[in-house]
Structures are given as structure tokens and as C-alpha cells.
């Protein structure tokens, strides 16, 4: 081995040499996490092959630290199982991962090196009124750079070892393409080995809580006579148990890379459709019992549900897309939308590919391409509306949505987000209806910062 032969320096390394080795190792670590082989990335650095032979304290502590980071990352990624072959290579090819040294020992070594470097940084920094020697200033900057790298290594390793703060990781996690380690940490944090949420709550209980909040079925209400009925409890327990696996799979799918998610979501939709069909058949078979329970419970106080907010949300999610469609059709009529150049496919092919996963779902029924073209065909109107008519209708509907939303007594974040979309779109569509920049073929901008589904239209 070249370390034993003395071909590679193992002591008295300069600051630039240490900084260069550490930076190269971190680049290799990132490359490994992006799907390349461990042997062709991290282990191209000969210092990590056998850190026990290294006599330089800073380099030895770093080499052990980077091995521990790789080992913990590999363990968590394998446990989460949300990677494909292009995402991550888990094989270690027989290389040692510093298993003979404890995590606590490695973090302690890094801390000792960090403290020593910090003392050097303090001893070489400039003092007020002192003439600065260029060589001392260079040494100070190099020592500070090495100190920051060792400290970062220690903090990264400590974070992986004691990863317990779920809220820090969940916050804004769905930003641009997180790496495979980040996705795996999220999975192993939320769903532990026993499929308990955060390791404590059964998934069945979480589904029941979601049902209570979303649809408030009588059988899950403590005030309802059905709550203590054994047969009703058996039915709901059976239903929730059947729901557990698809929901766990759904959570796991969102840990895969974005390119793979669409195909997997299509398959999980089939499972949800099957679940819906089975429960529908089960519901019809138990209608006599339901009628009996209903008659028995008519005299009792039945739980009521405030449906106003639910109705409002459903109405808005139906109306706002319609208004956005009106705006898009009008922009297209004015030549302000760049249409895709179809060469090897067509609009119908793309439409059918985009909505193919929903064909397995019976409710709501899928809208086929021919039906979509008939619904969006303006020639069926007599006379056909012009772009100004559509802009005016869109402005009116955005105004109606704004009035409805402003009258909500306790607006939730979704209401506020839609309001931020409706207000500027009222002005833009009203200007376009009046002929603003009609003859100038300027492509509009669609700003999704206020709402991830409904854009604010901007005409520059």
C-alpha cells in the first residue's frame, strides 16, 4: 500500500495541502450522492483507505469523519429505499468504513483539531494598530479556511448522528430536487421501520384523524350511537387497515426523484381506485344495517358539520381554474401564447399521456380528449365570443371570487393565497379587455409565487 511505502505524506502537511485534500473529498462525496460509485469517488482519495496510518491529526480526524458520514448516509438511504439505480450506488466494494472507531470518538477528534486550529486563528489575527506581515496574514487566512472545513465536517457528522428535529427538515423540503440522502432522511424520520408515524403513531390512527377532520363521518364521532357499535367499528377498522398500505406507499413515492414519481403515482392511483370500488360494494351490502342504525339514532343528537368552508373551497377550486382557462383561451386568440412545435407527436398524444394515470379512477370520471375539445370549442356559441369578451368575463369572475373570499370570517392560508392571485388578475384582465397592448405580440409571464397552481398573469 502506498501509504505504508511512504509515497504519500502522512504528516507535516501544509495548510494548502490539507485544504486541497478536504475540498476534493467533499466534491467526491457530493458526486457519490448524485449516483456514482463509492469506489470511483470518495475512495479515490487514498487517505481514507486506512486512516490509522495517518500521523497528521487534522487529516486523520477528517478522514475518519468523512468515512462516518458515508457510512451513516448509506445506512439511512438503504433504510428509506426511495432510490433508483441512477440515484445512488450503495456498494462499498469491501472498503472499511471506520467501524472500529465509535461515532463519539470521531466527533471528539474533530473537536480537538477544531479547538487547536481556533487557537492558531486567534494567535495569527491582526491587532489594532499593528503593521500586518503578509506571510502572517496568509497563514491566518489559510488556518481560518481549514478551521471552517473541520468545523463543517464535525457539524455535518453530528447532524446525521443526532437527527431528531423533524420540523427543521420538513420545512420547505419540497424545493428544487433534494438529494437522495435528504429524501431518505425525510422518509426514515416520518415513517420508521414499524410503519409508525414518527415512530409513535400508528398509520391507522392518523388516517382516522384525517377522516374526522375532512369528512366527519358519524361512525367516528364520539357523540354518535354508531361509535360504540361493534359491527360498525369492525367495518371502519377493516377499511382503515386496507388504506394503510396505499398511504404508506404514497408517502414513500414522494421520496423518489421527480422523474420517477409520475409513473409510480399512476400505479398508486390504481390501488386507490380499487380501494374505492371495494368499499362501494361493501357499503351497498350493508345498507339494511345502515337503515336500522339510522332509524335507531333519529331521536338522538346527531353530530353536525360546518360545511360552509368545505363548499367554499370546492366551489373556488372549480371556478378559479375555469377563469384561468378563459384567460388562457383569450391570450391564445390574441397570439400571446407560444404554442409547442409538434414533430413526433400531437396535442392529443400529449393530453392522453398527461391524463393516462387518471383513467383508472372512476370518480371523478376521466375527461377524454374529444370531450375536452368539444367543451373548449368556442364555435358552438352564436356568435362566437371574441378575446375581449373572454377577458371581460374572466375579470368579472375574478372580482366575484375576490368578494366571496373577503367575506370569509376566518380565512385560512389557502383563501389568502387565492386572494393574492385574484386581485392582480382583475386589473390585468380588465386592461386586456380594453385593448391594452392588443397589437403588440408580447408573451405574458405567469407568476406562481403566490399560489403553486393558479398564476398571476403579467403583461410586460
Q: Are 106 and 161 in contact (CB under 8 A)?
A: no
pLDDT of 42 reads 94
pLDDT of 374 reads 86
Winning range, highest mean pLDDT, from 67-81, 266-280, 409-423: 67-81
Q: Indicate the pLDDT class of residue 117, thresholds 50, 70 and 90.
A: very high
Distances (CA, A) of 377 to 92, 341, 348: 59, 21, 15
Helix (H, G, I), strand (E, B) or coil at 99: coil
The pLDDT of 196-225, averaged and rounded, is 77
The pLDDT of 32-53, averaged and rounded, is 92
Tens-digit pLDDT profile for residues 150-191: 999 999 998 888 764 444 454 456 555 777 887 787 777 777
Tens-digit pLDDT profile for residues 366-423: 888 999 888 888 888 888 888 899 999 999 999 988 888 888 777 777 888 889 999 9
Percent of the chain with pLDDT over 90: 26
Q: Which residue has the higher pLDDT, 251 or 69?
A: 69
pLDDT of 309 reads 59
pLDDT of 240 reads 86
- The full DSSP string for 178-246 is --HHHHHHHHHHHB-TT-EETTTEEHHHHHHHHHHHHT--GGG-TTSGGGG-HHHHHHHHHHHHHHHHH
The pLDDT of 439-459, averaged and rounded, is 86
The pLDDT of 339-367, averaged and rounded, is 83
The pLDDT of 198-220, averaged and rounded, is 77
pLDDT of 302 reads 45
Q: What letter would DSSP give residue 46? A: G
pLDDT of 6 reads 61
pLDDT of 356 reads 85
Q: Are 455 and 420 in contact (CB under 8 A)?
A: no
Task: Give the predicted TM-score (pTM) of the model.
Answer: 0.52
Q: Are 252 and 81 in contact (CB under 8 A)?
A: yes
**CA–CA separation, 392 vs 326, rounded Å?**
10
Query: Where do we find the cell 361512525?
Result: 219
pLDDT of 291 reads 46
Query: Where do we find the cell 369492525?
Result: 234
pLDDT of 36 reads 93
Tens-digit pLDDT profile for residues 48-64: 999 999 999 999 999 99
pLDDT of 394 reads 92
The pLDDT of 73-81, averaged and rounded, is 86
pLDDT of 171 reads 42
**CA–CA separation, 126 vs 335, rounded Å?**
64
ω before 406 within 30° of 0 (cis)? no
Compute the CA torsion angle 291, 292, 295, 301 (nearest 10 deg). -100
pLDDT of 3 reads 57
Percent of the chain with pLDDT over 70: 86
Which has the minimum average pLDDT: 307-321, 369-383, 401-415, 444-458? 307-321
pLDDT of 281 reads 55
**CA–CA separation, 332 vs 324, rounded Å?**
12
The pLDDT of 201-211, averaged and rounded, is 81
**CA–CA separation, 361 vs 358, rounded Å?**
5
**CA–CA separation, 303 vs 310, rounded Å?**
16
Amino acid at each position: 500500500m502506498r501509504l505504508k511505502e511512504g509515497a504519500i505524506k502522512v504528516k507535516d502537511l501544509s495548510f494548502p495541502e490539507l485544504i486541497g485534500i478536504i475540498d476534493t473529498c467533499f466534491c467526491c462525496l457530493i458526486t457519490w450522492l448524485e449516483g456514482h460509485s463509492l469506489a470511483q469517488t470518495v475512495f479515490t482519495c487514498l487517505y481514507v483507505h486506512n486512516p490509522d496510518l495517518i500521523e497528521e491529526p487534522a487529516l486523520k480526524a477528517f478522514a475518519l469523519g468523512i468515512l462516518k458520514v458515508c457510512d451513516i448516509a448509506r445506512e439511512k438511504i438503504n433504510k428509506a429505499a426511495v432510490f433508483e439505480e441512477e440515484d445512488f450506488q450503495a456498494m462499498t466494494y469491501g472498503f472499511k468504513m471506520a467501524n472500529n472507531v465509535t461515532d463519539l470518538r470521531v466527533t471528539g477528534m474533530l473537536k480537538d483539531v477544531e479547538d487547536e486550529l481556533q487557537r492558531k486563528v486567534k494567535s495569527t489575527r491582526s491587532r489594532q494598530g499593528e503593521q500586518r506581515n503578509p506571510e502572517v496574514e496568509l497563514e491566518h487566512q489559510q488556518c481560518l479556511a481549514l478551521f471552517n472545513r473541520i468545523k463543517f465536517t464535525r457539524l455535518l457528522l453530528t447532524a446525521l448522528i443526532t437527527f431528531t428535529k423533524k420540523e427543521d427538515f420538513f420545512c420547505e423540503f419540497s424545493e428544487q430536487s433534494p438529494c437522495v440522502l435528504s429524501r431518505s432522511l425525510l422518509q426514515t424520520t416520518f415513517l420508521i421501520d414499524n410503519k409508525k408515524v414518527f415512530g409513535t403513531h400508528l398509520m391507522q390512527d392518523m388516517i382516522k384523524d384525517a377522516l374526522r377532520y375532512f369528512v366527519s363521518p358519524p361512525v367516528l364521532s364520539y357523540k354518535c350511537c354508531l361509535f360504540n357499535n361493534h359491527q360498525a367499528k369492525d367495518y371502519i377498522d377493516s377499511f382503515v387497515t386496507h388504506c394503510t398500505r396505499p398511504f404508506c406507499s404514497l408517502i414513500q413515492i414522494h421520496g423518489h426523484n421527480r422523474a420517477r414519481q409520475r409513473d409510480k403515482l399512476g400505479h398508486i392511483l390504481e390501488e386507490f381506485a380499487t380501494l374505492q370500488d371495494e368499499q362501494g360494494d361493501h357499503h351497498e351490502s350493508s345498507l339494511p344495517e345502515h337503515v336500522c342504525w339510522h332509524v335507531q339514532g333519529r331521536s338522538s343528537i346527531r353530530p353536525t358539520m360546518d360545511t360552509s368552508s368545505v363548499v367554499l373551497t370546492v366551489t373556488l377550486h372549480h371556478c378559479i381554474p375555469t377563469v384561468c382557462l378563459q384567460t388562457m383561451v383569450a391570450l391564445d386568440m390574441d397570439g400571446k401564447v407560444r404554442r409547442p412545435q409538434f414533430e413526433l407527436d400531437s396535442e392529443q398524444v400529449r393530453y392522453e399521456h398527461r391524463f393516462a394515470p387518471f383513467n383508472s379512477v372512476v370518480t371523478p370520471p376521466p375527461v377524454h380528449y374529444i370531450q375536452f375539445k368539444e367543451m373548449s370549442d368556442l364555435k358552438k356559441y352564436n356568435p362566437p365570443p371574441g378575446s375581449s369578451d373572454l377577458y371581460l368575463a374572466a375579470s368579472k369572475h375574478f372580482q366575484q371570487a375576490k368578494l366571496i373570499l373577503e367575506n370569509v370570517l376566518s380565512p385560512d392560508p389557502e383563501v389568502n393565497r387565492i386572494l393574492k392571485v385574484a386581485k392582480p388578475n382583475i386589473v390585468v384582465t380588465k386592461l386586456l379587455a380594453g385593448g391594452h397592448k392588443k397589437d403588440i405580440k408580447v408573451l405574458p409571464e405567469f407568476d406562481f409565487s403566490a399560489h403553486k397552481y393558479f398564476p398571476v398573469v403579467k403583461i410586460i
